[in-house]
């Protein structure tokens, strides 16, 4: 087995589903001839042709709206936002149309919106955000965020097979930095199940997306200082694996929550609130959140580095929580 | 919907004078009349229920615009998809959705198409090839384009038909949706009901364009204008657009000239509308116009009108009875039905 | 002094600012001739004329975008969304343009967007939502939610005078149900200061908007049962009065958070997270959130009543928290 | 910018052959040439800095489109407002923004117009009457309409000028913004740079419309087309639109025919563009065309070209030196500057 990148695994997952099911199609800006801004769909046009690989006008609302209509009529569209940031143009379609159709009058809306997100790439205020929290508060949408090569594939396949609108947050920083070997089998990551990325006893780090990696690094470094960190990779934000969260809290009695999104109103608040309500008895220390500071995402390296949480921030929060 | 006339009966002697009518089957013509009457009767019933305090919330009348919905929908096959907006009751009626479903939804019943979760004619029904709108105007256009895309991809010769108002046509989704449909030559038809008002806002505050149909050119699609109060003209213009869509010639934007004859919703007395406007358009009531024409052609007389009126009333009464007898929702199990 | 309604106070506040400052103007759908769907701007067209009272095309993005441009050029627009729900059409303008301009290149963007929100009105999935949490996570936006007649006036005036984009969530259910006497003085509610709506000792209820009233009722009823509830009316979500929150938690050691928005991803999570981090030592009981259930807003009364939190839900949560 | 000719110098004998040129002041004409040259030189410098690894991120070339920006902006007064998009470097240059500010922004310097918070030419400057764009294409159109609304409300005779691409023109904000501007007859001009590509997407995948300018009619505003590689034509068409806007006659949509001569951004080799297209348009390079014309009219010779080239290089060198010498940001105080 040869190693595959995170974006390669995503590509392979999509390709397998395109081959498996005729109702699956890809839609978005520059996904055909160009293979997508990040080349996630490279080679697809040659293999599957237009319209199954559909380069569209520059119209996010039309793209997402067309997905809703096609999905209601039985297709399984996979839309690419060129950057997650541009989903704001199709926001209304997602939160009002896609999310509410099934509840209102019954049809299933099996569609996936892929959202290349995240920073560390000097993309500035409009090419770097992590907008997942907007959608986690919308009943009717599912939200996943793969942190590993395996889940990049397993979650896109699960998302495509899911009968609901699923937002798939793929982290740009991980695209080519993560590499792994994958088995040949039909890899599906069930949506709604967290993954214990690392076992530990002293404190739990609950994270998703890129923070799983920074978290893993922090945990490895703290181990040498005698602190044992358990890392829970949520994988899916909606539905949320409350059971796994409460289990790790019950085990370590101390918890740090980490995400790359800004702190105020980020999804970490929801996790903290659930623990503060349902896991209160297990808590031996305040719940800390490690997140970006509450500003737009700045462009210059010095600023983006100061903006984003890093391994040192994680170590400090974990240490303080253990020492509390 | 036959295009050739069946052998005319005794009353048909006057029909030769109306060459356009002569091209159609009598049953088809009476069907248009009947479906407008059914729509009006249902509309009136909804208003009456509101006044009796029986509706959950307000209601939106399509009075005076029945032709825009009934005539256009008459051009469809049952497997074509409609995406009606709030003033397209006639489309729901014509496309074969039982009236009780509309009433159950207005009455917020557990057995209605939304189980009380949404109101008024805000529902869809896959069984009846009907897409439900959302309140955000314009949003249904890209969604109907998506339905049409599904048909095109699967090689089905089905068409999607939807509507927009003079107000709603200024939302970005109108632009994105029609342009998208134009590029892909999707089998889709959009009827823009220019009823002169968007809530209290007159069209000159909506756009400086001399009309709305000229926007079609900006998307490389066909445009057509029609007297929206002439049900047969509505049928014909939509029929042509639907035939073209089915033949792979792409979408059409049809601007229908009509008038909103009530306030925006029932709470709105529409005082901002000049009285003369209502008076002028009252003369052009689509049901009145068509019945005059049918009468002139000898296709309708007092007896038939009375008979249809009675049948329609019976249907609406029955639907009301049925809908009113349905159970109310109990507020349990909602959370289990958010996801498929 | 005669009594004025919540919406009357809002109208009076806008009118005073229109009279005081020529750069203030009102913009929105049907706000002129019709005086607004809820008559918040009734009489303004007659008094101030077009274009200061500007009926627009049905185009939320253009409305909000025009506010941004006019504000950068020194005007102080006050936009009305016909219903808060329709802000999704202008979402991109708010979260990407309005919110980030000052941080990016300096100009102030003094604009207000008024958002008639909230349920109990049988408005269904698209005329009833409480979308404030989408905006509380966007650095650069301020978010206020008056719960009283006094603040309906004081906060609109403060919002209009603020040099930043301010989202003003006005609750439709309170429009004509609340009445109060107001002093003649120039009433300004400082943005960012919570209000102690009721003093108590046993448990704190942190709320905003309509929940302040349901909460007051619950508190009054519980008093008879010997439970003393302190009610904190946040008034402003961004900036958040963390000090006042921590003070009441330090006093009662028990806290319930209430909002009408759905639970998951609602702003209550953020409040709970702050308390769980910064007020942990004071907590004697789990932090409970009382909120709507995680579904779209249903239309029928039986469903909306089951969906929304009511006085009984509040009482139960408060009681359980005290008895913990 | 005078419209009448000053007394021609000795070299002017050939000028009579070019009647259009003859209507302009020589300094004005040379100014257009010079500003295109300045734009190109700055563009080249940015590319060079990228290749030296000095830029924070990528860069977007406006090569071949200098006329669209310089010619149009030349029609403005200093107090008019520009809202440049990513390929309107020439507009920034022409409207009097010092080149060092552009470079400081590209280099992410603390003393740049965004203090390193945003990149490339993504900035605004109230002092220079320049609005900064956001990345979301189309959004600047309603915002410029809002600026124009402020001018109109205050009775100022200022105008707002902005741009959009063939791709970006399919975003809903194009529709909402232009229609809004049309209704209010706002003093605003929108130039649609049809450069045939939106990233890798050719115009036939963007729209089925035969051109973009026909959309003007749908908003009741003036439309005009122009050779976007002819700087004087750009000046004239925009000048007319600006004059009308200033006179209260409302907005204009101008479609400029041009070509993107590089990839979308520097990382993009644009292999999807047919080689012939580049070759054909290379012949139509706006700087080349205008210099040929000026030479033919005797307004430009080798000496002047060399002199201008040298001056421009000196200016760009100086700006680069200045920008490079500026401090980098330190990541402190960000959070204090989110709110005004
Ligand atoms: C995007 C959006 N903004 C505002 C509203 C509120 N609203 C509902 S109907 C209406 C007027 C619609 O006018 P028009 O589109 O002409 O349709 P008509 O009512 O005349 O059939 C408005 C403003 C809405 N539903 N959607
Ligand atoms: C709303 C939106 N969607 C997607 C993008 C990503 N994107 C940036 S530039 C571009 C192509 C733009 O093409 P065009 O508008 O023709 O301008 P040009 O680059 O040719 O000047 C795309 C897709 C964006 N910036 N904004
Ligand atoms: Mg209308
Ligand atoms: Mg282009």
| Partner residue facing B147 (CB), from A72, A102, A108 | A72
CA distance A253 to chain D (A): 32
| Partner residue facing D183 (CB), from B182, B208, B250 | B208
CA distance A229 to A222: 8
Sequence ranges of the domains in chain A: 4-180, 195-323
- What is the number of H-type helices and E-type strands within chain D? 12, 7
pLDDT of residue D17: 72
CA distance C306 to C293: 8
Region B257-277 average pLDDT: 96
CA distance A274 to chain D (A): 28
Region A105-113 average pLDDT: 98
Give the chains touching D; criterion: ≥3 Cβ pairs < 8 Å. A, B, C
- CB atoms within 5 A of ion ligand 3 belong to B 165-166, 195, 198
Give the tokens for residue D272: 């999807």
**Annotated catalytic residue D50:** no
CA distance A146 to A117: 11
pLDDT of residue B16: 52
Q: Which atom number of ligand 2 is nearest to the Cα of residue D87?
A: 21
CA distance A92 to chain B (A): 8
Q: For residues C85 and B135, is the Cβ–Cβ distance under 8 A?
A: yes
| Partner residue facing D167 (CB), from A33, A58, A295 | A58
CA distance C262 to A136: 11
Q: For residues D187 and D159, is the Cβ–Cβ distance under 8 A?
A: yes
Tens digits of residue pLDDT in B102-130:
999 999 999 999 999 999 999 999 999 99
Q: Whose CA is nearest to atom 19 of ligand 2?
A: D198
Whether residue D1 lies inside any domain: the answer is no
pLDDT of residue A207: 98
Give the tokens for residue B220: 């490389």
Within 10 Å of residue B189's Cβ, how many Cβ atoms?
Answer: 32
Distant-in-sequence, close-in-space partners of C118: CB < 8 Å, separation ≥ 6: C84, C128, C130, C169, C171, C172, C173, C174, C209, C210, C260
Contact residues on chain A for C133, CB-CB shorter than 8 A? 137, 265
* CA D271, chain centre distance (Å): 25
CA distance D254 to D321: 37
SS3 A309: coil
Query: For residue A239, is the peptide bond before it cis, meaning its omega torsion is within 30 degrees of 0?
Result: yes
Question: Does the beta-carbon distance from C103 to A296 stay under 8 Å?
Answer: yes
Residue A59 CA, ligand 2 centroid: distance in Å: 10
D184 to chain C, any CB pair closer than 8 A? The answer is yes
Q: Which ligand is nearest to the CA of A80?
A: 2
| Probe target for ligand 1 pocket from B198, B200, B268, with the most ligand atoms within 8 Å of CB | B198
Confidence tier at B58 by pLDDT (50, 70, 90):
confident
Cα–Cα distances in angstroms (integers) from residue D113 to residues D94, D109, D162, in the given order: 17, 9, 20
What is the CA angle A238-A241-A243, rounded to 5? Answer: 150
* CA D167, chain centre distance (Å): 17
Which CATH number is associated with domain C195-323? 3.40.50.920
* Residue keyed to tokens 């702050």: C274
Residue A118 has pLDDT above 50, yes or no: yes
Whether residue D320 lies inside any domain: the answer is yes
DSSP state of D194: E
Question: Does the beta-carbon distance from A68 to B146 stay under 8 Å?
Answer: yes
Phi, psi of C104 (to 5 degrees): -75, -50
Query: For residue C51, is the peptide bond before it cis, meaning its omega torsion is within 30 degrees of 0?
Result: yes
Using CB atoms within 10 A of its CB, is residue D333 exposed (0-12), middle (13-18) or buried (19+)?
exposed
Q: For residues C195 and C230, is the Cβ–Cβ distance under 8 A?
A: no
Q: Which of D6, D199, D267, D272 is catalytic?
A: D272
* Residue keyed to tokens 């005797």: D298
Q: Identify the residue among A89, A300, A312 best suited for mutation to test binding to D, counting D beta carbons within 10 A and taking the highest.
A: A300
Cα–Cα distances in angstroms (integers) from residue B288 to residues A148, B39, B229, D59, in the given order: 68, 14, 10, 65
Q: Which residue of B has its CA nearest to A103?
A: B338
Confidence tier at B15 by pLDDT (50, 70, 90):
very low
Contact residues on chain B for A112, CB-CB shorter than 8 A? none
CA distance A43 to A32: 8
pTM of the predicted model, to two decimals? 0.97
Q: Which atom number of ligand 1 is nearest to the Cα of residue C89?
A: 1
Q: For residues C191 and C142, is the Cβ–Cβ distance under 8 A?
A: yes
CA distance B249 to B272: 42
D136 to chain B, any CB pair closer than 8 A? The answer is no
| Partner residue facing D200 (CB), from A33, A56, A298 | A33
CA distance A105 to B126: 9
* Residue keyed to tokens 């001399």: B210
Give the tokens for residue D128: 């220079």
Give the tokens for residue C248: 């009441």
Q: Which domain holds residue B319?
A: 22-324
Residue B169 CA, ligand 3 centroid: distance in Å: 9
Within 10 Å of residue C174's Cβ, how many Cβ atoms?
Answer: 22
Which residue from C86, C102, C208, C212 is spatially nearest to C162, judged by alpha carbons? C102
CA distance B309 to A272: 64
CB proximity under 8 Å: D 24-63 to A: 56-57
Within 10 Å of residue B81's Cβ, how many Cβ atoms?
Answer: 27
Share of chain B above pLDDT 70, in %: 95
Question: Does the beta-carbon distance from B136 to A92 stay under 8 Å?
Answer: yes
Query: Is residue D165 lining ligand 2, measured as CB closer than 6 Å?
Result: yes
Tens digits of residue pLDDT in A139-164:
999 999 999 999 999 999 999 999 99
Q: For residues D276 and D265, is the Cβ–Cβ distance under 8 A?
A: no
- Are both C4-180 and C195-323 of the same fold? yes
CA distance B312 to D336: 69
Question: Does the beta-carbon distance from A51 to B153 stay under 8 Å?
Answer: yes
D325 to chain B, any CB pair closer than 8 A? The answer is no
Region A271-289 average pLDDT: 98
Which residue from A249, A248, A233 is spatially nearest to A286, judged by alpha carbons? A249
pLDDT of residue B19: 86
Whether residue D201 lies inside any domain: the answer is yes
Instruction: Round the average pLDDT of chain B to a whole number and report it.
Output: 94
Contact residues on chain C for B56, CB-CB shorter than 8 A? 122, 299-301
Residue B4 has pLDDT above 50, yes or no: no
Q: For residues A202 and A254, is the Cβ–Cβ distance under 8 A?
A: yes
Which residue from B152, B82, B159 is spatially nearest to B121, judged by alpha carbons? B82
Q: SS3 letters for D244-302?
A: HHHCCCCCEEEEEECCCCCCCCCCCCCCCCCHHHHHHHHCCCHHHHHHHHHHHCCCCCH
CA distance A253 to A279: 9
CA distance A213 to C292: 35
CATH of residue B207's domain is: 3.40.50.970
DSSP state of A85: G
Between helices C311-323 and C210-224, what is the axis angle to 10°?
60
Q: Which of C102, C127, C171, C213 is catalytic?
A: C127
| Probe target for ligand 2 pocket from D168, D261, D270, with the most ligand atoms within 8 Å of CB | D168
Residue B71 CA, ligand 3 centroid: distance in Å: 18
Which residue from C99, C94, C247, C159 is spatially nearest to A294, judged by alpha carbons? C99
CA distance A126 to A82: 11
pLDDT of residue C238: 98
CA distance D23 to chain B (A): 35
Contact residues on chain C for A89, CB-CB shorter than 8 A? 92
Maximum distance among all alpha carbons in chain C? 59
Contact residues on chain B for A70, CB-CB shorter than 8 A? 146-147, 149-150, 153
Domain count, chain B: 1
CA distance D198 to chain B (A): 15
Q: Which atom number of ligand 1 is nearest to the Cα of residue B65?
A: 21
Q: What is the torsional sign of CA C102, C108, C112, C113?
A: negative
Q: Identify the residue among D112, D119, D198, D272 best suited for mutation to test binding to A, counting A beta carbons within 10 A and taking the highest.
A: D119
pLDDT of residue D5: 40
Residue B198 CA, ligand 1 centroid: distance in Å: 6
CA distance D174 to A223: 55
Whether residue D12 lies inside any domain: the answer is no
DSSP conformation letters of C157-182:
HHHHHSSS-EEEEEETTTTTT-EEE-
The verdict on ipTM greater than 0.90 is yes
DSSP state of C69: H
- pLDDT under 50: residue ranges of chain D: 1-15
Share of chain A above pLDDT 90, in %: 98
Which residue from D78, D27, D58, D93 is spatially nearest to D319, judged by alpha carbons? D93
Domain topology for A4-180: Rossmann fold (3.40.50)
CA distance A91 to chain B (A): 11
CA distance A270 to C121: 28
B211 to chain D, any CB pair closer than 8 A? The answer is no
Confidence tier at A97 by pLDDT (50, 70, 90):
very high
Tens digits of residue pLDDT in C102-139:
999 999 999 999 999 999 999 999 999 999 999 999 99
Residue B14 has pLDDT above 80, yes or no: no
pLDDT one digit per residue (tens) for chain C, 324 residues: 689 999 999 999 999 999 999 999 999 999 999 999 999 999 999 999 999 999 999 999 999 999 999 999 999 999 999 999 999 999 999 999 999 999 999 999 999 999 999 999 999 999 999 999 999 999 999 999 999 999 999 999 999 999 999 999 999 999 999 999 999 888 999 999 999 999 999 999 999 999 999 999 999 999 999 999 999 999 999 999 999 999 999 999 999 999 999 999 999 999 999 999 999 999 999 999 999 999 999 999 999 999 999 999 999 999 999 999
- Long-range contact list for A226-230, CB < 8 A, 24+ apart? A227/A202, A227/A203, A227/A318, A227/A319, A227/A322, A228/A200, A228/A201, A228/A202, A228/A203, A229/A198, A229/A200, A229/A202, A229/A203, A229/A204, A229/A205, A229/A318, A230/A196, A230/A198, A230/A199, A230/A200, A230/A201, A230/A203, A230/A204, A230/A205
Strand partners, C56: none
| Probe target for ligand 2 pocket from D138, D199, D204, D206, with the most ligand atoms within 8 Å of CB | D199
Q: Identify the residue among A95, A167, A206, A264 best suited for mutation to test binding to C, counting C beta carbons within 10 A and taking the highest.
A: A264
CA distance D78 to D29: 18
Contact residues on chain B for C40, CB-CB shorter than 8 A? none
First to last CA, chain A: 46
């Amino acid at each position: 087995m040869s190693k595959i990148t995170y974006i390669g695994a995503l590509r392979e997952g999509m390709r397998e589903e395109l081959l498996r099911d005729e109702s699956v199609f890809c839609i978005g800006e520059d996904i055909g001839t160009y293979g997508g801004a990040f080349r996630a769909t490279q080679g697809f046009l040659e293999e599957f042709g237009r319209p199954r690989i559909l380069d569209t006008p520059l119209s996010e609302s039309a793209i997402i709206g067309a997905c809703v209509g096609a999905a209601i009529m039985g297709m399984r569209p996979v839309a690419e936002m060129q950057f997650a940031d541009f989903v704001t143009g199709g926001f209304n379609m997602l939160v009002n149309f896609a999310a509410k159709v099934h509840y209102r009058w019954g049809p299933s809306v099996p569609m996936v919106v892929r959202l290349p997100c995240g920073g560390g790439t000097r993309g500035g205020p409009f090419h770097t955000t992590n907008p997942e929290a907007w959608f986690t508060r919308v009943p009717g949408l599912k939200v996943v965020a793969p942190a590993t090569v395996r889940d990049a594939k397993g979650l896109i396949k699960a998302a495509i097979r899911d009968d609901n609108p699923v937002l798939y947050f793929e982290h740009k920083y991980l695209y080519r930095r993560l590499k792994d070997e994958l088995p040949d089998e039909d890899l599906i990551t069930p949506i709604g199940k967290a993954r214990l990325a690392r076992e530990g006893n002293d404190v739990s780090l609950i994270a998703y997306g890129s923070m799983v990696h920074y978290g893993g690094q922090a945990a490895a470094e703290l181990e040498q200082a005698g602190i044992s960190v358990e890392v829970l990779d949520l994988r899916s934000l909606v539905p949320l694996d409350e059971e796994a969260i409460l289990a790790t809290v019950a085990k370590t009695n101390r918890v740090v929550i980490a995400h790359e999104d800004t702190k105020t109103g980020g999804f970490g608040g929801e996790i903290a609130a659930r623990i503060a309500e349902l896991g209160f008895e297990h808590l031996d220390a305040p719940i800390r959140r490690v997140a970006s500071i509450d500003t737009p995402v700045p462009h210059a390296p010095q600023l983006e580095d100061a903006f984003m949480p890093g391994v040192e921030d994680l170590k400090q929060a974990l240490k303080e929580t253990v020492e509390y | 919907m036959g295009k050739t006339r069946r052998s005319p009966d005794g009353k048909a002697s006057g029909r030769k004078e109306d060459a356009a009518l002569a091209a159609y089957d009598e049953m088809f013509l009476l069907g248009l009349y009947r479906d407008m009457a059914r729509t009006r009767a249902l509309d009136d019933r909804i208003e009456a229920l509101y006044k009796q305090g029986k509706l959950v919330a307000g209601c939106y009348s399509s009075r005076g615009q029945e032709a825009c919905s009934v005539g256009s929908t008459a051009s469809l096959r049952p497997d074509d998809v409609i995406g009606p907006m709030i003033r397209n009751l006639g489309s729901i009626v014509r496309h074969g959705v039982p009236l009780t479903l509309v009433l159950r939804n207005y009455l917020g019943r557990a057995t209605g198409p939304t189980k009380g979760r949404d109101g008024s004619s805000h529902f869809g029904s896959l069984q009846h090839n009907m897409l439900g709108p959302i309140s955000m105007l314009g949003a249904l256009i890209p969604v109907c384009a998506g339905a049409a895309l599904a048909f095109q991809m699967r090689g089905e010769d089905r068409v999607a038909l939807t509507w927009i108002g003079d107000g709603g046509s200024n939302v970005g989704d109108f632009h994105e949706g029609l342009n998208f449909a134009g590029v892909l030559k999707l089998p889709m038809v959009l009827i823009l009901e220019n009823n002169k008002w968007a809530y209290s806002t007159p069209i000159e505050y909506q756009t400086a364009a001399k009309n709305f149909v000229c926007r079609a050119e900006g998307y490389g699609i066909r445009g057509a204008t029609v007297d929206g109060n002439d049900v047969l003209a509505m049928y014909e213009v939509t029929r042509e657009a639907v035939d073209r869509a089915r033949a792979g010639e792409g979408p059409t934007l049809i601007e229908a000239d009509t008038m909103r004859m009530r306030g925006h919703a029932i709470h709105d007395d529409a005082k901002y509308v000049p009285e003369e406007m209502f008076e002028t358009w009252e003369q052009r009531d689509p049901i009145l116009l068509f019945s005059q024409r049918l009468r002139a052609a000898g296709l309708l007389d007092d007896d038939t009108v009375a008979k249809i009126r009675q049948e329609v009333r019976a249907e609406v009464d029955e639907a009301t009875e049925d809908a009113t007898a349905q159970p109310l929702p109990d507020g349990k199990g909602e959370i289990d039905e958010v996801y498929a």
